[in-house]
Amino acid sequence: MKNTRICPKCGGSRVVRIPDHPGRYASGNNIYTTRFTLLGKIPVIRYVCCDCGYAEDWVESPAEWVQLWQTYGDMPGAER
């Protein structure tokens, strides 16, 4: 969906990219890594199908994938 702009649920092509923005940080919708305070917050980009309403969330920066893995990837008992 992120790369093809085609909805995997309905096959529609009216997929829009909803960028992250600072105001959303107050909504509680982003992934927090603040238990390790140096990492801060990770922006999440949402793709929404305007034909059926299906939505996907993507962290687009490889540097942030690394941060998330380092924060949660090897934590015993953490949800994967």
Smaller CB distance to Zn ion: residue 18 or 52?
Answer: 52
Under the criterion CB under 5 A, does residue 66 sit at the interface with Zn ion? no
The piece of 26-34, 48-56, 60-68, 72-80 that touches Zn ion (CB under 5 A) is 48-56
| Residue 14: alpha-carbon gap to chain centroid | 19
Under the criterion CB under 5 A, does residue 15 sit at the interface with Zn ion? no
Q: How many CB atoms lie within 10 A of CB 1?
A: 16
Separation of alpha carbons 78 and 80, rounded Å: 6
- Contact residues toward Zn ion (CB under 5 A) are 7, 9-10, 12, 49, 51-52, 54
